[in-house]
Chain A
Amino acid sequence: MKAPAFTFLRPASLDEALAALAAGEGEARILAGGQSLLPMLNLRMAAAETLIDIGGLTELGEIAEADGRVRIGARVTHAALEDGVGGDRWNGMLVFVARDIAYRAVRNRGTIGGSLCHADPAADWPVAMMALGATMQIAGPDGRRELDSEAFSLDVFSCALEEGEMLTAVSLPRLSPAARWSYRKMRKKAGAFGEAIAAVVHDPESGLVRVVAGSSPLGGPARHADLEASIAAGAPVEDAAIRRSLAAREPDLDRYEMQIHATCLRRAITEVMR
């Protein structure tokens, strides 16, 4: 239960961090809050020759608004989002999601960027960010680029970052006051990872309609375009349609998994359309 040996770096700037990543040639890893990486190192489920602690990069800890979108630095903690630091532009959604991630002591260190890069299929931010239409801002040896959530989320524990790249921020639109959202999670106890997660967002002003489900059995978050179309049209969404949509995506759900996923989605859709 102790981490293996590694070299520890604490760069003072983004350029320094990127240079260290490049020098590591694939054997160096970013350390953000460490709330996923350190348990895995302790359990010897992960290894790294070098850890690059980004705790000193103030630029990555900022929240700023420009052109109707809000940029949340990768290093912003779950606790800061729970406390609404930087202002709530999502009618309470980010505060609600943050409050139910792990425990306060974990939220004080765990970061939104770490959660997105770690890409645990049952993690909360990947689902919530996809539902809000977030894009991922990436810096690397070839400069900067931006990817939408769907392109960023590749597979279980895998995201679209290339070797030498890191996530600097997520950029997301603010919701209008008329927007409605619902976030439903089935879990064994408060703070445990969700066995099923559903996030639904409908903003009539911007036209944003998202239905996202995520969890380990589903292999991570993805959108349900057929259900989104029904919501956009104001058409009622039957339970059978939800089950068909889930089965089309993951035919191997057992009865229990289907039941909890369908229930989460139904409750979230009902809450938003009410």
Chain B
Amino acid sequence: MTRLSLTVNGEAVSVDTEPRVSLADFLRDRLALKGTHLGCEHGACGACTVLLDGVPVRSCITLAASCEGAAVTTVEGFEDDAVVARLRAAFTEEHALQCGYCTPGMLATARDIVMRHTTPDIAAIRHELAGCICRCTGYRGIVRAVARVIAERAPVGAAPDGDCGPDAESP
């Protein structure tokens, strides 16, 4: 057991954990944040994607122990995030989810796409989303939702940021 101290969704957390525990299992089992979903547990499906210091990572193949001192944001922490608020609305309007299993990872990934792209290039969005598997929607709604938020943001520049770590506003 080692003592692990980090920030999760803005709150300081300090918990004993086994070194072999993944960030995903740490969030789900130790902190009861079940919004982080597990699909493949080897990096291929994207369901477990969360923000680590503001950028998306696979929580299934990131050790919790490697996150000492870091800031983690899960889907539960997106409540006050302006970009994710727009994405949530666009996901609803474009029918970008059905069962919702992929959605927490999709939102973390989509937020990052929106932060790094200034034009809604469909081919680029599809390339960026290639690591997130959705078994329900057929992706078209998800791609449209992401494109819509990029297009909405384009005229106003960077939108106000949520509490998602220091790098969140980098282009």
Q: Contact check, B20 vs A5: say whether CB atoms are below 8 A apart.
A: yes
Q: Which of B25, B41, B49, B52 has the most CB of A within 10 A?
A: B41
What's the tally of chain A residues with a CB closer than 8 Å to chain B? 31
Q: Contact check, A108 vs B20: say whether CB atoms are below 8 A apart.
A: no
Q: Contact check, B58 vs A105: say whether CB atoms are below 8 A apart.
A: yes
- Partner-contacting stretch, out of B6-14, B74-82, B124-132, B154-162: B124-132
Q: Contact check, B68 vs A34: say whether CB atoms are below 8 A apart.
A: no
Our pick among B25, B109, B112 for the contact of A2 (Cβ within 8 Å) is B25
Q: For the complex, is B55 an interface residue (Cβ under 8 Å from A)?
A: yes
Our pick among B2, B49, B55, B63 for the contact of A38 (Cβ within 8 Å) is B63
- How far is B130's CA from A102's CA once the two chains are assembled, in angstroms? 9
- How far is B25's CA from A189's CA once the two chains are assembled, in angstroms? 29
* Residues of chain B with a CB closer than 8 A to A39's CB: 42-43, 61
Q: For the complex, is A55 an interface residue (Cβ under 8 Å from B)?
A: yes
* Residues of chain A with a CB closer than 8 A to B112's CB: 104-105
- How far is B22's CA from A139's CA once the two chains are assembled, in angstroms? 29
Q: For the complex, is B121 an interface residue (Cβ under 8 Å from A)?
A: no
Can you sample 30 A-B contacts with CB below 8 Å?
A: A1-B41, A1-B42, A3-B22, A5-B18, A6-B19, A8-B2, A8-B19, A8-B65, A10-B65, A10-B68, A31-B63, A35-B58, A38-B43, A38-B60, A38-B61, A42-B22, A42-B60, A53-B63, A53-B65, A55-B66, A79-B55, A103-B46, A103-B128, A104-B128, A105-B56, A105-B58, A105-B109, A109-B57, A190-B126, A190-B127
What's the tally of chain B residues with a CB closer than 8 Å to chain A? 32
| A114 smallest CB distance to B (angstroms) | 12
Q: Contact check, B58 vs A106: say whether CB atoms are below 8 A apart.
A: yes
* Residues of chain B with a CB closer than 8 A to A31's CB: 63, 66
* Residues of chain B with a CB closer than 8 A to A108's CB: 52, 55-57
Q: Helix, strand, loop or mixed for chain B's interface? A: mixed
Residues of A within 8 A of B (CB): 1-8, 10, 31, 34-35, 38-39, 41-43, 51, 53, 55, 79, 102-106, 108-109, 189-191
Q: Contact check, B20 vs A6: say whether CB atoms are below 8 A apart.
A: yes
Q: For the complex, is B119 an interface residue (Cβ under 8 Å from A)?
A: no
